[in-house]
Amino acid sequence: MKTEGQQLEMFLTVEQEQAIQEYLNNYDFHFRNNKGDVEKKHQVLVENGFIEGVHFENTFTFEENVTETVSLGGRWYGVEEFETEVTITKYQGGIFLLHDIVDGEDGTNKIIKKSTTFYLTSSGKIECSSIVGSFRPVKPATMLRKIAELNESAKDRLVIVNRKDNHFDNAIEKLEFEFPNSVSVEKGSEWVRTYNLRNSYTVDVVTVKFEDGSYIQYNVNSFSGEISINKVYDVETEKLTLQDKVNNLKNRLS
């Protein structure tokens, strides 16, 4: 990497030249550190049977002699902030492990590769909590096995997700037929709060909404497709006072 710096103004002070050189030195250090880290990880993975594009991806690229404008200095750097042009080796990307997940963001459930960060230990073990489930470093062979297990789990997950979606689609179709006067029948999420807030969670529900603001919320069993009522909100009932409810009860029982 070239150690060049040229202020957009005509002259540089000694302090500005020092700030530029410090920036270039730091940038060069990080570039070389990242490049070396990627090369070492790539070597370890390949030597232990990892296949690029299947078990890992390497997106690290760099371009030499790139000139760009940067802002240096400032109140915490002992020199007034200024802009300058520097010529550097521009780099981006890295090396990541890959494992399968189920993705449905575009409305179609499918298995895709997900990239995840990992680290090498001095003993050649690999640390990747998102695959192993903990920060415990494991041998490369163990990591390969963990990736294979996640990939098989993704296949099972795809079957479950597709079955669940089919049950919800059927429930929506059935409820639309049952409530032709509804303004919408939609799948959504309901927050379930437990005594321990940390254990609270969300569940998928189907909500039938009516023009006056009333709605009925249904649970749909993900395995059997059974539909059950979760909540009913009736605008007219909510308007009743306690005395109205007492009067209704007295009239019903008299």
Q: Averaged over 33-55, what is the pLDDT?
A: 97
Question: With contact defined as beta carbons under 8 Å apart, do 171 and 118 qualify?
Answer: no
Using pLDDT thresholds of 50, 70 and 90, give the confidence band for residue 6. Answer: very low
Name the least confident of 5-19, 106-120, 165-179: 5-19
How much is the pTM?
0.78
Q: Kindly state the DSSP code that residue 121 receives in the 8-state scheme.
A: -
Instruction: Give the pLDDT confidence of 217-242 residue by residue, as tens digits.
Output: 999 999 999 999 999 999 999 899 99
If one counts every other C-beta atom within 10 angstroms of the C-beta of residue 206, the result is 21
Q: What percent of the chain has pLDDT over 90?
A: 79
pLDDT attached to residue 2: 41
Residue scoring higher pLDDT (15 or 58):
58
Residue 9 has pLDDT above 70, yes or no: no
Q: Averaged over 156-169, what is the pLDDT?
A: 96
What whole-number distance in Å separates Cα of residue 211 and Cα of residue 32? 64
Q: Averaged over 92-120, what is the pLDDT?
A: 95
pLDDT attached to residue 10: 53
Question: With contact defined as beta carbons under 8 Å apart, do 181 and 155 qualify?
Answer: no
3-state helix, strand and coil shares in percent for the chain, rounded to the nearest 5: 40, 35, 30
pLDDT attached to residue 197: 74
Amino acid at site 39: E
Q: Averaged over 5-25, what is the pLDDT?
A: 78
pLDDT attached to residue 172: 97
Output the 3-class SS for 199-241: HCEEEEEEEEECCCCCEEEEEECCCCCCEEEEEEECHHHHCCC
Which pair of structure tokens corresponds to residue 87? 């010529």
Residue 91 has pLDDT above 60, yes or no: yes
What whole-number distance in Å separates Cα of residue 33 and Cα of residue 91? 11
Residue identified by tokens 């395995």 is 223
Question: With contact defined as beta carbons under 8 Å apart, do 191 and 230 qualify?
Answer: no
Question: Quick one: which of 229, 107, 237, 234 has its CA closest to 175?
Answer: 229
Which pair of structure tokens corresponds to residue 161? 């997700």
Q: Where are the beta strands (DSSP E) in the chain?
A: 4-7, 56-58, 61-74, 79-92, 95-103, 110-116, 119-120, 126-127, 184-192, 201-209, 215-220, 227-233
pLDDT attached to residue 77: 77
Q: Is 108 helix (H, G, I), strand (E, B) or coil?
A: coil
**What backbone torsions phi and psi does residue 105 show, to the nearest 5 degrees?**
-65, -30
